[in-house]
Amino acid sequence: MFRKLLICTVAIFALNATALCQVNGVDDTTANADILSTLAKVRALIADTKYDSALGILEGYLQNNSEDNEAWYLKGFIYDQKENLALASEYYHKSIALDSTYWGPWHELAYLFDIFAQYDSMNIYMRKALETSDNPGSIYYDYGYSFDMLDQADSALIYYHKALDVDSLDDEAYLNIGAIWGLRDNLDSAKVYTSKALAINPSVPRACYNYAAILGAEGNYQSAVDYYQKAMALDTTMIEVKLRLGELYEALGDSTMARIYFQEFVDSAPMIYTDDINRTKAKLEKYK
């Protein structure tokens, strides 16, 4: 799953800057503009992946503005991108402690739970992000994904479709809807949605893989081979493609190609594929 990262808008920063001035007993548009300018500069640096520069500005800013939840959120976001998840979580929670009605840290914390496959917590935090966001449409896909990971397909479908109502070109929503229908053996619906995902973005390895699986289930073996090969060309780490190609060539009666791909799978597959490796080794015996 491709994580959708959401950065705060200038409008939200403006509201926070104004609130900060009022809390400090200041009604100074110059101070407001300075705060907005500082945070806008940080956001621009983050967008340009200049995380250390952004962090340097934030460190100085927070010395005098320690109650600014947006700044703590951005600090957490930077550490998130630097893959220091412990600090990212700490600063996201600091932001929430200062203002629990702001959706940003709820959203990013939800995806930290995704990393550790803690999908119950992911779903809870994503719901908080949805409830507090002034643009919930941008979170529908993410909320749907959290249900998907909990194997709550009906709820996932509801929010994937809501995501498509907001953005009819959301190829990830189409792809995941297609996958759900595929798991339910509804090949017609699976093919319709997966085809739409491919039409929008034909260079997504998982879309090519899923479409190949559908074609194979339909008995269209040669076309399935083409899409599996495309998936493997786009992502050489998709080891399972080699197994699927071996199976397809076996079904096509091409024992030479079947043996080649089965052997490549056995030679390159990690231990998580132990059962498949053992079954494939047994198949290879008949090609000797």
If pLDDT is split at 50, 70 and 90, which confidence band does 286 have?
A: confident
Residue 32 confidence class, pLDDT cut points 50, 70, 90? low
Q: Secondary structure of the chain in the HEC alphabet?
A: CCCCCCCCCHHHHHHHHHHHHHHCCCCCHHHHHHHHHHHHHHHHHHHCCCHHHHHHHHHHHHHHCCCCHHHHHHHHHHHHHCCCHHHHHHHHHHHHHHCCCCHHHHHHHHHHHHHCCCHHHHHHHHHHHHHHCCCHHHHHHHHHHHHHHCCCHHHHHHHHHHHHHHCCCCHHHHHHHHHHHHHCCCHHHHHHHHHHHHHHCCCCHHHHHHHHHHHHHCCCHHHHHHHHHHHHHHCCCCCHHHHHHHHHHHHCCCHHHHHHHHHHHHHHCCHHHHHHHHHHHHHHHCCC
Q: How much is the average pLDDT of 39-52?
A: 94
Chain center to CA of 257: 35
Least confident range of 20-29, 93-102, 150-159, 229-238: 20-29
Mean pLDDT, rounded, for 28-48: 75
**pTM score, two decimals?**
0.83
Per-residue pLDDT, averaged over 15-41, amounts to 51
Helix-helix angle 221-234:205-217, to 10 degrees: 160
| Cβ neighbours of 236 (radius 10 Å) | 10
The distance in angstroms from the start CA to the end CA of the chain is 40
pLDDT band at 18 (very low <50, low <70, confident <90, very high): very low
- pLDDT for the residue 35: 56
**What's the CA gap between 172 and 85, in Å, rounded?**
25
| Number of other residues whose CB lies within 10 A of the CB of residue 281 | 13
Residue 8: per-residue pLDDT: 34
In tens, the pLDDT along 106-135 reads: 999 999 999 999 999 999 999 999 999 999
Q: pLDDT tens-digit profile of 216-243?
A: 999 999 999 999 999 999 999 999 999 9
Residues 258-280, mean pLDDT to the nearest whole number: 96
User: Which whole number is the average pLDDT over 152-176?
Assistant: 98
Distance CA 144, CA 161 (A): 9
Rg (CA), the chain: 24
Asked if residues 112 and 132 have their Cβ atoms less than 8 Å apart, the reply is no
pLDDT on residue 36? 63
Instruction: Report long-range pairs for 64-67 (Cβ below 8 Å, ≥24 apart).
Output: 65/20, 65/35, 67/20, 67/23, 67/98
